[in-house]
Structure 1
């Protein structure tokens, strides 16, 4: 399938499109990257070089893709960090143009705003813009637990409140919500969880907690989940299969549960490899077999 991915890019390391493109290619997708910045490295180093791409130039690149008659060939659009209202407007406009050419195309938005430790670290105008314009046109969103609560402006700190917040997010427009970095008081301290929700139900997966974080892991997670969701036929068939996590018939799966299981397996193994190598950057290329052939070592449970 063809994916238009509108994200940042770095020359050194792996964040944004520099994290998302290769894993998507490794699971069989054609990816057309459009850059919103072109930095030397991610900003976590404290110093970087390179330009922010003006919104008009981003729009021009997308327009050029359209001039090739390619909008009708796009199966999904992806976006991540939206550094300005102008970039957000370009993305929303691209979604409208692509869906006009191919109504079956989906838009997967990673509404990057911050995390529980550092709080919201985007400009003040970004969260309201995500709420009012961007998320309502998305089909899939992939916030972390903090971002989910911030997005819907309600509590998301335990299982019940997180599920309520996911339901509130779905009322805004998206049919699919993937919640990453889920923390809840009654979960074991040595695990981290992800929850996925769509019309077919809600599922949760636990993976061992690794004692570190690396920039770009969220970009890989959002990309792989969307890519696996597409591969599972979810774009036009959400809810047609029985549950894979709980009351499934023998041999049947739900696309969202399958995507969750594969994503959890692949991302955990990539992070474990990175941790064992004591690498500042993700071992993205070295982990490629984990994308193509996930070990499926973590069970997905229906909620």
Structure 2
């Protein structure tokens, strides 16, 4: 499998492509990473160095990949943090060109905007660009619960309202929706959930909620879910594998006492997930 991944990159720590590429490689996926920013570290530190990559430069890198004849072999395009406003047009054009070369390719969009605790942390124009231009051409989207609400103009909270918001998101274009960081009021205490839905149904997985937030875990989640879903065609299987891998990564990171994801140290969790969490069909 080959994935063209258009995301941010950092030198220190693991977010964007710097979080997504290695787990994908560890499960046997060939990744073609294209960067939208090249920062020293993620912006959660409050200070960082390095450039946003101009949309024309991102387009040039992708054009060079196309000129090497790679597009017919690409199975999925993955996008995450977009940086500048013009990246949306580059992504949409790239998806069209890849699908022209390989009609079996899919596009998975992680609509990175923010979260319930921090609010939006991207440029002001990005959320509307994602909602109006990018998400409608996606086959798979992987928002957190906060981002799902923004995309659909709703306030998903309990299971029924989250499923209703997923239906609205699917009506926008994507056939498959993975919702991360689901915190419904009636979930078991001390847990957090992910919910995946496609035309075949909807499935929920529950894991312990660890007492910390690790930047980049959503990027790993989107990457692994995309690869497993493209490989198996099963949202339930992709959800179970992804939940197991990401929980193992987070558990090992917490035990290390480090702020940044222990991405390399946790590699066995991607290659051989423990599959300790079962999915429950909820529709």
Aligned to 2:86, the other structure's residue is in SS state: helix
Which whole-Å CA distance do the structure 2 matches of 1:124 and 1:17 have between them? 22
Paired residue for 2:267?
288
Query: Does the 8 Å CA contact 2:54/2:84 hold for their aligned counterparts?
Result: no
The alpha carbon displacement at 1:265 in A equals 0.3
Q: Could you tell me how far 1:123 is from its partner in structure 2?
A: 2.6
Map of 1:205 onto structure 2: 205
What residue in structure 1 maps to residue 14 of structure 2? 14
Which of residues 252, 272, 280 in structure 2 aligns to 1:273?
Answer: 252
Taking structure 2 as the reference length, the TM-score comes to 0.98
Aligned pairs for 1:78-89 (under 5 A) are: 78-89=78-89
Taking the TM superposition and a 5 Å limit, the aligned residue runs for 1:180-259 are 180-232=180-232, 234=233, 255-259=234-238
Q: Give the superposed CA RMSD.
A: 0.8
Where does residue 131 of structure 1 map in the other structure?
A: 131
Post-superposition CA distance 1:121-171 (Å, at most 9, x none): 223322221121100100000000010011110120111000000010000
Instruction: Find the residue that maps to 2:154 and give its secondary structure.
Output: coil
SS in 2 for 1:85: coil
Provide the C-alpha distance between the structure 2 equivalents of 1:11 and 1:206, rounded to a whole number of angstroms: 33
**How high is the TM-score relative to the length of structure 1?**
0.92
Residue equivalent to 2:145: 145
Separation of aligned partners in 2, 1:153 and 1:198: 20
Number of equivalences: 282
What residue in structure 2 maps to residue 4 of structure 1? 4
Q: For 1:42 and 1:172, how far apart are their aligned partners in 2?
A: 30
Write the distance in 2 (CA, Å) between the matches of 1:267 and 1:40: 24
Distance, in Å, in 2 between the alignment partners of 1:91 and 1:81 is 12
Compute the displacement of 1:51 (Å): 1.3
CA distance in 2, matches of 1:137, 1:275: 37
The CA deviation at 1:85 is: 2.3
Is residue 2:57 matched to residue 1:60? no
**Alpha-carbon distance in structure 1 between the residues aligned to 2:127 and 2:263:** 30
Residue 280 of structure 1: CA displacement? Answer: 1.0
**Rounded Cα–Cα distance in structure 1 between residues aligned with 2:159 and 2:84:** 32
| Partners of 2:124 and 2:165 in 1: CA distance | 21
For structure 2, the 5+ residue unaligned runs are none
* Alignment correspondent of 1:46: 46
Alignment deviations for residues 256-294 of structure 1 (CA, whole Å, 9 cap, x no partner): 100000000000010000001111110100110110010
Q: Which residue of 2 aligns with 1:100?
A: 100
Most deviating of 199-208 and 77-86:
77-86
- Once the two structures are superposed, residues 218-276 of structure 1 have per-residue CA deviations (whole angstroms, 9 ceiling, x without a partner) of 000000111111221x2xxxxxxxxxxxxxxxxxxxx1100000000000010000001
Please give the alpha-carbon distance, in whole angstroms, between the structure 2 residues aligned to 1:277 and 1:128.
Answer: 38
2:266 pairs with 1:299: no
Q: Distance in 2 between matches of 1:50 and 1:302?
A: 45
